[in-house]
Structure 1
Amino acid sequence: MKAARWVTLGCVLLVTAAAAVGYGWYRWSETGKGWRYEDKLASYCGGLIPYAESAVFTELNTEVGLSRDDEYGYGEDRYRSCQVADLTVTVGLIREDAVASDTGPDIFGALDAGPSDRTPVALGGGWRGYTDMRDTAVVLPCADRDAGREASLVVSIQGDDSHDHPEEARAMAELATGIARKAARSSSCEAGFGGRIPKIHAPGGMSAPESASGTCAGIRFPESQWIDWIKESKPSGSAPLEGCLLGESKARDEVLYGLEAAFGPYAQRLRTPSGARSGLGHSHALATASCPGSTVRAVFTISASVYAAPTKDFLRSALRAFAERSAERHGCTDLTLPG
């Protein structure tokens, strides 16, 4: 009997030791680290985060790298927001009749990250998306099978200045497109996909107004406006957001005017139940256009900063030049300009 007990005890000790070794291997080895990461991704953020593209930022750390997973809204307005390392990822399906809320948070808040000193750059690769080296987004126009109407699947990634580099921006774009593929396949969104994201070129820095050849092309700069420099991007018909910045160098290189072209859900974020801004005001002007494949009218705006001395003539003329070229790139018609 003693011999049997010793044999049993020995077996238990061997099993315990093997389990400890196995756990240690699972806990600390690179292979085990990858397995744990894959296990968490299966349910994290609705299972929408791709392994390889996210590991670039998280280094397979499941605690710090995948630290927040939330769902907001109700019914058709539900959307996900989760953390991938220091990046805030927002994913949701936006129907074409949706408008930004006047009373509480919604997905449109994630599409309005605030002013940037970089103009948006198209992602390329057959994707409808943009990056400004800090924030990156992909928009998939799709047919919502469940609702029987058109919608847009949006993936928005908000970063910070630590990602202000073309290679980092490209990695963020690859993460966004990877999420978009998974989200489309797991939802009722029927959409086409692009391919690999090509090399991304940073938006242009300050340049002389007379050299404008990109998104600022065509704008006339009267001396009375004291515009010393512009910032622009290479024109593209695939970016859901385009911009042009006009500034001065007399004081602290301040931005005087910002022009923006917004399409699809980025145009929708400017609408609320109480309506959009009026066409022409003291410091802003707004135009709209009808674009192919969408019932959402594109919105073109110019806004003056506190450092500018805007006139209605300049607001109108600058917006016209900017909006006409942007609308043409995107195949939009029926451009309605402020009176």
Structure 2
Amino acid sequence: MAVRRIVLRAVAALVAVAVAIAGYLLVHGDFQRWSDESALDGACDGLLDRNTVRGVLGPGAVEVEHERRDAGLVGCEVHVHDGGTAEIRIADTARLGQSWDSLYEGSPGASALSVPIGHGWTGLFGADPDKHGAGTDPFKADEDDEVTASLVLKCTGASSIKGLSVTVETTLDKTLDDPSNRPQFAKIATSTAAKASKAQHCGAKLGKPVRSLDLPVNEDEYKPLGTAGGTCSGIPSARGVAIATETARGGAPHETCRLADAGLRKRYVLEGDYGPYAQERLLGYEEEGYEVAPSADTPAHYRDRDGRMSWTTAKCPDGLALFTLYPAAEQDDNGKSPRRHADLAHERAVLKAFAERSAKAHGCSAPLTP
């Protein structure tokens, strides 16, 4: 009888475990979770490098949450006890506008500009200083930093896919203020990109190991426009446009330049988009029903009727590049934004200078003159 009771207890325990697992899967749908050492080998369809992930996140007990939404997107989260966390998204860039997240440009609403990863990679490195720090040293925080490294891979002609996007948000108990810590936040992204390219027969040209990274550029890191040497270089100054906030150039698929007056009031925001970033932006214009919008078929310049933005385009090795200028709102007593007071000639010159230098740095043809 004693033996029978033991057997019954064991069966009951197994049933309870099975019910718990079934309940978990019922509640969480496509999510699956493992918590043993082999979990890393199956995470994100086996596209993670176990040694790299361990080296970045730490040696503690691991838990993996895997999500696969469709054939164009693989995602997973890795949590290490008393260590770090990484959220990974791997996407086919040909499936833009479908059921996957937008390409990373920076933290939503963040004041800091993401910077190029460089080292031969096409990608961005960013964080939100408003969330993690304060005072004169916004990236020196008492809490963990959530930092994003996002890469774009261009596949060769022999591949069945055109490109891949690999985005990794990493949380570590390490401050970005220390330059020696920053490369840790890019390691999972670069190792995952290499494995994804091989698994998908992408044949992409990969970058080198990331040994150093610049800090994201905070909004108070402005300089006189005439001294700008990065994304704001060569832009002519004029009355009311004297201050620049910029990043370095270095293979970033999305570039930004912010211009302000001497009182630090924002005047213009300029953006350059390449490859899948430009494709996604163009698709967005089409879906929003613009009467006239940039086209992938015919590079052209246009200023929209309401003065909300101006743009021009250029032909590049990886498709069309899009350069956009957004003027700051100039509100009248009725809260509207009249354009009659805008210096349109200077606005055209600003967009022209930004687009020409950006296109040249990316090996593109000269943009059409605004």
Q: TM-score, normalised by structure 1?
A: 0.72
Matching of residues 100-111 of structure 1 within 5 Å? 100-101=97-98, 105-108=99-102, 110=104
Gaps of 5+ in 1: 1-35
Give yes or no for contact 1:79–1:107 (8 Å, CA) kept in 2: no
Q: Say if 1:164 and 1:269 are closer, same or farther in 2 by CA, change over 3 A.
A: farther
Q: 1:57 Cα shift? A: 4.7
In structure 2, the partner of 1:302 is 325
Q: 1:326 Cα shift? A: 0.6
Q: Deviations over 1:17-76 (max 9, x none)?
A: xxxxxxxxxxxxxxxxxxx7641111112122223432355324455xx45321223x4x
Matching of residues 1-339 of structure 1 within 5 Å? 38-62=37-61, 66-73=63-70, 75=71, 78-84=72-78, 85-95=84-94, 98-101=95-98, 105-108=99-102, 110=104, 113-133=107-127, 134-143=147-156, 145=158, 147=160, 151-158=162-169, 164-165=176-177, 166-202=179-215, 205-223=221-239, 225=240, 227-236=241-250, 238-248=251-261, 250=263, 253=264, 255-272=266-283, 273-274=286-287, 277=293, 279-281=302-304, 282-292=307-317, 294=318, 296-306=319-329, 311-338=343-370
CA distance in 2, matches of 1:307, 1:171: 43
CA distance in 2, matches of 1:72, 1:118: 30
Indicate the percent of aligned positions where both proteins have the same amino acid: 24
Give yes or no for contact 2:231–2:354 (8 Å, CA) kept in 1: yes
Q: Say if 1:67 and 1:280 are closer, same or farther in 2 by CA, change over 3 A.
A: farther
Q: Say if 1:117 and 1:47 are closer, same or farther in 2 by CA, change over 3 A.
A: same
* Structure whose residues are more often helix by fraction: 1
Q: 1:193 Cα shift? A: 2.0
Q: Deviations over 1:165-195 (max 9, x none)?
A: 4444422222211010111111131222222
Q: 1:89 Cα shift? A: 2.1
Q: Higher relative contact order by CA 8 Å / sep ≥ 6: 1 or 2?
A: 1
Give yes or no for contact 1:53–1:171 (8 Å, CA) kept in 2: no
Q: 1:82 Cα shift? A: 2.4
Q: Say if 1:99 and 1:247 are closer, same or farther in 2 by CA, change over 3 A.
A: same
Q: Deviations over 1:118-171 (max 9, x none)?
A: 334322322222223443211111137563xx6111112246898644444422
- SS of residue matched to 2:45: helix
Aligned length: 284
CA distance in 2, matches of 1:112, 1:213: 21
Q: CA RMSD in A?
A: 3.1
